[in-house]
Amino acid sequence: MNDYRGKRVILTGGLGFIGSNLAIRLVEAGAGVTIIDSSVPGCGANLFNIAPIASAINVIDSCIGDVERFTSALKDADAVFNLAGEISHSRSMEDPERDLYLNTVTQLRFLLACRANCPGARILYASTRQIYGKPVYLPVDEKHPVQPIDFNGVHKCAATQYHLLLARRGDLDCRVLRLSNVYGPRMALHLPQQGFLGVYIARALTGEPILVYGGGEQLRDPVHVDDVVEAFLRAGLAPDMEPRVFNVGGPHPLTLSEIAAAAARQSGRSPIHHLPFPESLTRMDIGSYVTDLTRMQRELAWAPGIEFEDGLRSTLAYYRGNSDRYLGFTKHPERPAAVRLEYPASTQ
């Protein structure tokens, strides 16, 4: 962590869930942090997320595609943590052009700006395990076939390839982290499209039933955001080397039923209801997923250290102390977007 002291860091999507937790750690490490975030509605930006460090950072209110708004900040960057983008799989199927714009067009513009202004900076991109689609074997390593089952996975895959292409050409120094299901403080609990863990946590807080579709035997490996932040920080300091893509997941696989049971136990009042699997979700179901962490452990000496029960307990404690900022979103809405999303003319 001391190696970040005095570093000038750009953090895209820094008002969101993972980005804000990363920003806090970087400030604690002595880095100078500039956040670029346009608070696109539905993507989880929340100014309260950065309340502990608000006076210590610079926030540029901009879409990462509007590069002229932050060119001068890029020129000073030693490292770039690129966490901007849409993560909702269901929303990508409802509005694929929106997802295309947020996850590819703006990413390409941003990377070309980095190439022009800070080619020596290490760039860390947050990708997703969703690009693998329905696993053909478990655990899933980085050589697993890429076969996404929704537009979000396709577009995140394209953005990954932008990063890797520019790295292979020697234009930029990029690393890609493909994240499993992340949970922890500062999730956008009012956005159910951002994943089942946020829904389970929100229902555990309110005492509503926790809904498990089907038999609940599907495996997941939830990973706490503090472990994810540690993975990003280590990747940011690693020597220049191959490989450039790393899978990041949790310490142990758990069934959905086990995850729901843990949330219900710690809620103390949320029952568990098993329901038939909705047909609308069937085509997006990937079955079980478990991450192979071998490459992360070998190359970056990283392994997740937070057990799910412990991480869930501390997560619920955070939200109980700040529930109005996450569940009472009608009183504390997301900021309006600083810029209107302007799709290319061909996609109007």
Q: What is the pLDDT of residue 219?
A: 98
pLDDT in tens, 229-244: 999 999 999 988 788 9
Mean pLDDT (the chain) is: 92
User: Is it the case that residue 331 has pLDDT exceeding 70?
Assistant: no
* All structural domains of the chain: 2-343 (3.40.50.720)
Q: What is the pTM of this model?
A: 0.93
Whole-angstrom distance, CA of residue 4 vs CA of residue 168 = 26
| Distance, CA of 268 to CA of 110 (rounded, Å) | 46
- Which residue type sits at 13? G
Res 103: pLDDT? 97
Highest mean pLDDT among 28-32, 37-41, 189-193: 28-32
How large is the average pLDDT for residues 291-313?
A: 97
Residue 328 binned pLDDT confidence (cut-offs 50, 70, 90): low
Which residue bears the tokens 């089942």?
196
Q: Given this model, what pLDDT does residue 289 score? A: 98
The 10s digit of each residue's pLDDT in 141-163 is 999 999 999 999 999 999 999 99
pLDDT bracket for residue 193 (50, 70, 90): confident
